[in-house]
Structure 1
Amino acid sequence: MAYRPSKKFKKTVLGVGAVVLLAGLNAPAAFSFAEDRYHAYKIAQPGYKAQYGSWGLVALPEDQRINAMHAALLHTGKVLLIAGSGNDQKKFDKGTFDTVLWDPAKNTFKRIPTPEDFFCAGHSQLPDGRLLVAGGTARYEVLDGKVTRAGGGMRVKNESPDKTVTLRKGTRFRSPSGVEYESKFDVTVPKAKREFLISYAKSGRMLPWKTKVTAAEARVFVEAVQEGPQGLTTEAAQYEVIGLKGKDADNVYGLAERLSTAKQDFQGIKAAYEFDPKAEKYIPVAPMKDARWYPTLVTLQDGRVLAVSGLNDVGDVVPGDNEIYDPRTKKWTKGPFRYFPTYPALFLTKGGKLLYTGSNAGYGPAEKGRAPGLWDPRTNTFEPVKGLTDPDQLETSASLLLPPAQDQKVMVLGGGGVGESPKSTARTAIVDLKTATPAWREGPRLPQGTRYLSSVILPDDSVFTTGGARDYRGRGASDIHKAQFYWPRAGRFTAAAAPAVGRNYHSEALLLPDGRVATFGSDPLFADKDNTKLGRFEHRLEVYSPPYLHRDPALRPALGAGPDEVDQNGRATFRAKDTDRIVRARLMRPSAVTHTTDVEQRSIELGLSRTADSVTVDVPSDPTLVPPGWYMLFVTDVDGTPSEAKWIQVRAPKKPAAEDED
């Protein structure tokens, strides 16, 4: 007789099978949960932190969350986070612009009234500790297929040598065929230039005076009043200014060559302000001559600031008209002419030349202005620096002057193809500017192709690199949750603890006075791997504590009382304990960073002498090595453990009296 299992046995077997089946189905989730728990346990261990460091999220009040596009460390120890309209056209249309001041020591936040849309401005540290902020957004882009009214640049001419003319926003220009266009901004056109010409008869007698008048010109963006193709023009024409009468109507007119419905790019503003860290407010200064969106501002050896590139007031890359800001006069003057794509990475080098690494943030043709080179602003000469691998993938790459600055070595890390290219490179490269013919040489490769990488110099002479994405704006969930150290002396990378927050476009990182690294922002296009859900701006603020902060705090070097500026010999003395353990001193310039571009940060090796209860540091006197301004002074022990920073000012070299009179 065949065996038949009982009903009870069947139920038991079915029950066990169901459990086994459910366990099998849930195994990946259970394993992932266990793996996450183990990872959390592992990274919390003292030994792990001592080797790799640790990350922590900063509690950010809901009402203080902004789209941080720009970050600058001030000599008060606070961090200025600038959003402007924050890549949010609704805020732009409302005129709602944001800035927040974060105090890392107290972890407090303060809203700062923001007078202009500083979204995608430029910034630079000034000798007195103020932050120069120049440029920003005048108009958001309109993409192909979305432009309903023809528009473009209108050159407004003024032939009157007797009066300046201001045309307000909304002024209308009429074409010869009767089509009307409206200006989108105010425009002021200077007086025409009048020249007196002297001529002589053959007899030598001076003939009556003759005058020559050269029309003045300004530019403004205009848009057709009516939608549709009737506003399209492809030929140069002269336009009547509606509302002007008499001589004004004869003297003032518009000229345009092409008004179309092609994509209209972002447009810049001319406004410039100094942010006062003590008063904690923006103070207006003279505007730039050219409007700029995505400009680079770089400090020169005399404390003046060079503004380079950017999109102008009609959305074109500024063709090479650079300008210089003087913090003494609060005014701008004409600078050397040279074209660069937007946010070019320019570093002041020993001797006064600027190294252009080729790193940039994108706008501009792929074949123009992207080759690295040494630029001398005084003679306006440019020497190419060759040898770079993947030269077509410098957009959104990171660049920095390696520590210490005296070595005069500059590094490029990662980058991507031009525009919305999916390309990215793991290439790093280094150039030694002390060689007779500087050329790039290969450095160690990054773990993978990376664009939008943040690179921060630390007091122990390492370079901390973190974040970035493989693809354009993190497409395809390509954010890279990795971090590593580059050690210039050894020429190699070592691993660091991985960040929890991904960072791509519109992200920043900078060194804090206590030795930590703060990271901000990120503006992904999409929120999922399939690119079906729109991304959101990243508001979480994450701070990294390097391994040196996980050593015995009792053994950490410390500086006591001392001056807040170096003396006339470049020296400063501070009280200190256990001075025999202090072996190095570094002067570190605070960051002003946006769009992976930080041309401010640098670390200078200092002379160091000790007594039983004090240390004295010697600052190099070369302003091309140590540009004037406020710096963080760190001392370290033999293991590279740094003190907390002391803020100290290096003043600009005095100018000759004759130069002051100019």
Structure 2
Amino acid sequence: MPAAKAVPMFSPELRRGLGRLLALALLVTVGLVASPAQAAANLVQNPGLESLDANGFPVCWERSGQGDNTYTTGVTTDARTGKRAMRVNVTRLVSGDRKAMMLENAQCAPRVTDGHQYDLSVYYKSTTAANALTLFRRDTKLGWQYWMDPATLPATATWQRKVVRTPPVPPNTDRITWGVSIYGVGTLTTDDYSMVDASAPAPTPSGCTDAAGCTKGKWQVMPYESTVRGVHAVMLHNGKVLLVAGSGNDPNAFAAGTFKTAVYDPASGAFTNVPTPKDLFCAGHVQLKDGKVLVMGGTKDYAKADGTVGYKGLKNSYVFDPVTNTYTATNDMLAGHWYPSATILGNGDVLSLGGLGEDSTGTTTTDYYSAAQGKWLGDVQQTWSWWGLYPAMVLMQDGRLFYTGSHTFGSGLPGTGASIYNYGTKAITDVPGLQRKDERDQSMSVLLPPAQAQRVFTVGGGNGDEGKTANRLTDLIDLKAANPQYQPGPLLPQGTLTGGAAQTGEQGKMYVSLVLLPDGTVFETGGGLHNRADPVFEASIFDPQTNKFREGMATDPVPRTYHSSAFLLPDGRVMAVGDNPGNGSFDNRISIYSPPYMFKGARPAIQTVANTNWGYGTTQRITVNSAVTRASLIRPAAVTHSSDPNQRFVELPMTVNGNTIDLNVTSNPNLAPPGWYMLFVHNANGVPSTAKWVKLG
């Protein structure tokens, strides 16, 4: 659906009409466990819409929707079978949608089983392409919740059938309801609904190839070291990794004008050195929609030893081309930025905020990069607000930015420590609930899988300026809520310090890394107890479905504190680089982590991808070699200083026909900004394929 139709904030009433808002990608886990099981019992009550209530509307169905629009919803004799169908006619629409939905009661809402998948089928006709299948689920603890839009339905003058498979039903869900939304001017007619249990028994794992690996995963330290200090890491769509050091936090290298970049090939272990035009140490970076990397800011000058002058930021900017391994200068930004944010928007443009300026004071200038023009704009909306260093700015589904409270160095900003920023209106709204907002230095935040759920997870942190011990705090926020606010999450698992000494109490970690995995979980690794000191050896996997950590994962044998990063490789493994303790040394070893799913039997494979250039709201066909239950797009990393605000996992709804799968691509570019993505599928045992690269937008 068009991003412009997204509603900024959601009241409980609006969430019932959320159908088109979160755009359809969420149904990724729709599976290929079996072909549509139409011989099974239909769980929909009054599926042909023939029985009417006292008001003349189909029994077990209700008129629903929200927003500013003019519409009629009723019964028509233009039926596919029988005498009746439902018709929704929208003659004026400023915002919102309209739909006919199943009633949310015990008599009408189909009962479901945790972990099962269901094939949903509906016949429809529509004069507009602005239609979406919309699902709600009843959480036994929280009540009715919007679940997802699994697919959009194109316009058609004749009856067409849409079949889509749900993801495995989340825990604590006992019933679901669904219907078809119309979110544009036009007429939608539906008939002959069906919902059948499509689950097959989970396949027996083909065997654990390594008992410890199946439980904890395994690390491997490469027998070679990086040729540059890996302060910045970008996963390129050609399968290679851009490692940017600049001067690498080495004042002598800065004085000598020795600035370094290398391209690393994980497949061969080869490094290609790249001429580096300026000191891109502590720059910002983001992947553009064409696969090139925009690098902004960096180090104009180091701080003086006596503290009279601080670090100074560059206003230079470059585009790195992975085809030629070269940097090309853009025009300068409006201001210097050392430690700036970099967030790609739904239209492919980039916003950069924060950092230190050319005079070493905090930069309050907003810089805006136009992808179409290939340059930084001079006419930019300004709030003149100070956002700190590397402020984590996550793009929301409605186009606004969420400042998560994660940053680098010192205390947080005035107010609650987190906020929502609307670039178009310049409005900044405080978001409450972040625990110890002034002790979240070098924490990390991620948009949890799937992006359509709009939940952000913020982990750890400390206060380097005051030398405080890092904390174990985590915080969760639902950005779809009417008034979003953080809620406390589970404490980080306890780790051990150098030499195996156990931590006690609330001691946690700063410099933590969070990596979205293709099975929809989050790998947590690395970190230190104090500013540039005391590495913490602990790793865990966070499950967004249960909001719990799976503790005791294998730990990286290499310390990973300041200037370290971890990120996902296309083969499903995790790469970790960097460590820059207070003595000024730098660890150039490279570690590779194989998560437990790598040891749990044969991996499914994506055999063909019909088209690698994907448009929004389209259906894309792939074939696989075996049954799978999930498909997703994961945006490749561009990470530094525990900051990668563009990292996201986008669910892909699936329509299944044997080993042929049609993937329904979200129509909302704010959920999946344009660019290259890793396409994964995984099976019922959670074992993912190796990724195929596709370009979205």
- Corresponding residue for residue 289 of structure 1: 334
- Corresponding residue for residue 507 of structure 1: 564
- Corresponding residue for residue 141 of structure 1: 303
Q: Matched residues in 2 for 1:402 and 1:366: separation?
A: 23
- Corresponding residue for residue 55 of structure 1: 219
SS of residue paired to 2:606:
coil
Q: CA RMSD in A?
A: 1.7
Matching of residues 217-366 of structure 1 within 5 Å: 263-318=308-363, 320-333=364-377, 334-337=380-383, 338-362=385-409
- Corresponding residue for residue 483 of structure 2: 437
SS of residue paired to 1:132:
strand
Q: Matched residues in 2 for 1:45 and 1:639: separation?
A: 14
- Corresponding residue for residue 233 of structure 2: 71
Q: Matched residues in 2 for 1:620 and 1:567: separation?
A: 9
Matching of residues 159-178 of structure 1 within 5 Å: none
Q: How many residues align?
A: 473
* Residues 153-197 of structure 1: CA deviation (Å, up to 9, x unaligned): xxxxxxxxxxxxxxxxxxxxxxxxxxxxxxxxxxxxxxxxxxxxx
Pair 1:312–1:266, CA change in 2 (3 A): same
Q: Does 2:579 correspond to 1:522? A: yes
- Corresponding residue for residue 52 of structure 2: none
Q: Does 2:605 correspond to 1:545? A: no
* Residues 418-451 of structure 1: CA deviation (Å, up to 9, x unaligned): 5242231101010011111111111110124111
* Residues 248-293 of structure 1: CA deviation (Å, up to 9, x unaligned): xxxxxxxxxxxxxx52111111111111111111111111121111
Q: Matched residues in 2 for 1:67 and 1:473: separation?
A: 16
- Corresponding residue for residue 643 of structure 2: 597
Give the Å deviation of 1:569: 4.2
Give the Å deviation of 1:584: 0.7
* Residues 327-382 of structure 1: CA deviation (Å, up to 9, x unaligned): 2212212243232111000100110111111110126x655477101111111111
Cα contact 2:234–2:242 (8 A) shared by 1: yes
SS of residue paired to 2:342:
strand
Q: Matched residues in 2 for 1:329 and 1:480: separation?
A: 45
- Displaced runs of 4 or more, over 4 A: none
> What is the percent sequence identity of the aligned residues?
38
Q: Does 2:682 correspond to 1:626? A: no
Give the Å deviation of 1:65: 2.2
Out of 118, 129, 148, the residue aligned to residue 291 of structure 2 is: 129
Cα contact 1:70–1:82 (8 A) shared by 2: yes
- RCO (CA 8 Å, sep 6+): is it higher in 1 or 2? 2
Q: Matched residues in 2 for 1:273 and 1:138: separation?
A: 15
Moved more, 507-516 or 613-622: 613-622
SS of residue paired to 1:560:
strand
SS of residue paired to 2:254:
helix
Cα contact 2:575–2:593 (8 A) shared by 1: yes
Q: Does 2:613 correspond to 1:565? A: yes
Cα contact 1:420–1:472 (8 A) shared by 2: no
Look up the equivalent residue of 1:484 and give its one-letter code. Answer: S
Cα contact 2:381–2:424 (8 A) shared by 1: no
- Corresponding residue for residue 544 of structure 2: 488
Cα contact 1:58–1:541 (8 A) shared by 2: yes
SS of residue paired to 1:493:
strand
Look up the equivalent residue of 1:307 and give its one-letter code. Answer: S
Give the Å deviation of 1:568: 6.2
- Corresponding residue for residue 110 of structure 2: none
- Corresponding residue for residue 379 of structure 1: 425
SS of residue paired to 1:470:
strand
Cα contact 2:395–2:646 (8 A) shared by 1: no
- Corresponding residue for residue 661 of structure 2: 615
Pair 1:480–1:127, CA change in 2 (3 A): same
Q: Matched residues in 2 for 1:423 and 1:382: separation?
A: 31
SS of residue paired to 1:392:
helix
Cα contact 2:388–2:413 (8 A) shared by 1: no
Give the Å deviation of 1:612: 3.0
Q: Matched residues in 2 for 1:566 and 1:480: separation?
A: 42
- Corresponding residue for residue 11 of structure 2: none
Out of 432, 450, 454, the residue aligned to residue 509 of structure 2 is: 450
Q: Matched residues in 2 for 1:304 and 1:369: separation?
A: 28
Q: Matched residues in 2 for 1:372 and 1:610: separation?
A: 41
Give 5+ residue unaligned stretches, structure 2: 1-207, 495-506
Q: Matched residues in 1 for 2:412 and 2:295: separation?
A: 28
Give the Å deviation of 1:119: 0.3
Look up the equivalent residue of 2:520 and give its one-letter code. Answer: D
Q: Matched residues in 1 for 2:446 and 2:523: separation?
A: 11
- Corresponding residue for residue 455 of structure 2: 409
Matching of residues 465-480 of structure 1 within 5 Å: 465-474=524-533, 478-480=534-536
Cα contact 1:361–1:395 (8 A) shared by 2: yes
Q: Matched residues in 2 for 1:540 and 1:370: separation?
A: 39
Cα contact 1:124–1:297 (8 A) shared by 2: yes
Matching of residues 86-97 of structure 1 within 5 Å: 86-97=248-259
Look up the equivalent residue of 2:539 and give its one-letter code. Answer: A
Cα contact 1:483–1:497 (8 A) shared by 2: yes
Cα contact 1:52–1:497 (8 A) shared by 2: yes
Pair 1:535–1:86, CA change in 2 (3 A): closer
Q: Matched residues in 1 for 2:239 and 2:398: separation?
A: 30
SS of residue paired to 1:101:
strand
Give 5+ residue unaligned stretches, structure 1: 1-43, 145-261, 526-533, 652-662
Higher helix share: 1
Q: Matched residues in 2 for 1:541 and 1:78: separation?
A: 14
Cα contact 2:315–2:332 (8 A) shared by 1: yes
* Residues 113-159 of structure 1: CA deviation (Å, up to 9, x unaligned): 11111000000110111110011111111032xxxxxxxxxxxxxxx
Higher Rg: 1
SS of residue paired to 2:286:
strand
Out of 494, 497, 500, the residue aligned to residue 554 of structure 2 is: 497
Q: Matched residues in 2 for 1:376 and 1:274: separation?
A: 26
Q: Matched residues in 2 for 1:291 and 1:396: separation?
A: 22
Moved more, 124-133 or 563-572: 563-572
Q: Matched residues in 2 for 1:507 and 1:438: separation?
A: 31
- Corresponding residue for residue 37 of structure 2: none
Give the Å deviation of 1:575: 2.6
Moved more, 556-565 or 407-416: 556-565
Give the Å deviation of 1:105: 2.2
Q: Matched residues in 1 for 2:267 and 2:382: separation?
A: 42
* Residues 289-340 of structure 1: CA deviation (Å, up to 9, x unaligned): 211111111111111000101111111111x211100122122122432321
